[in-house]
């Protein structure tokens, strides 16, 4: 049986915090799927295709890692592809409260799907895609928080918005 873990998120854009969770989860699974979710509550800066490309250019080159997109519930996506584990990262206590409620709900919806949590590394504990976008929006580099390809994409995105 193949052990598949799903790391869901909007990844708008991917950060070093996300990459840390991906790299730390790889040894635990035969396959890790980075699942880019359509989140009806969020307006994304990058299109689904742009997010896929930024992730592809940022992740380690390994056959164990796949990128996929999905809409709807993460737990339903897991059931659809045969994954038994949802991978989540925790930065702070506030993340825990939110993630704990979702994990309990997912467990009720699918008894066979577990959620595992990775504590953010100290150097990544404050990074979020929202913070990264806000820094870039004000013309500052995000190279300390996200891969170069993301920094370049954000610069280009904000320059295009200013030129309109």
Q: Which residues are catalytic?
A: 18, 42, 91, 129
β-bridge mates for residue 69, sequence order = 36
Classify residue 139 by its DSSP letter.
Answer: T
Cis ω for the linkage preceding 13 (within 30 of 0): yes
Q: Looking at the chain, how many residues does it have?
A: 164
28: Cβ contacts below 8 Å, ≥ 6 apart: 3, 5, 116
Classify residue 143 by its DSSP letter.
Answer: T
Largest CA distance in the chain: 53
């Amino acid at each position: 049986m193949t052990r598949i873990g799903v790391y869901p998120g909007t990844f708008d854009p991917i950060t070093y915090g996300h990459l840390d969770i991906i790299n730390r989860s790889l040894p635990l699974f035969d396959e890790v799927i980075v699942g880019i979710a359509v989140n009806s509550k969020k307006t994304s800066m990058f299109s689904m295709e742009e997010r896929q490309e930024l992730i592809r250019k940022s992740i380690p080159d390994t056959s164990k890692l796949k990128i996929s997109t999905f809409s709807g519930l993460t737990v339903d996506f897991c059931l659809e592809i045969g994954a038994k584990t949802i991978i989540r990262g925790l930065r702070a206590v506030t993340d825990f409260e939110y993630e704990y409620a979702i994990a309990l709900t997912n467990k009720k919806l699918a008894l066979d799907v577990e959620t595992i949590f990775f504590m953010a590394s100290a150097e990544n504990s404050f990074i979020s895609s929202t913070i990264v976008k806000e820094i870039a929006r004000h013309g500052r580099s995000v190279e300390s928080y996200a891969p170069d390809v993301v920094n370049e994409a954000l610069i280009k995105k904000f320059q295009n918005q200013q030129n309109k």
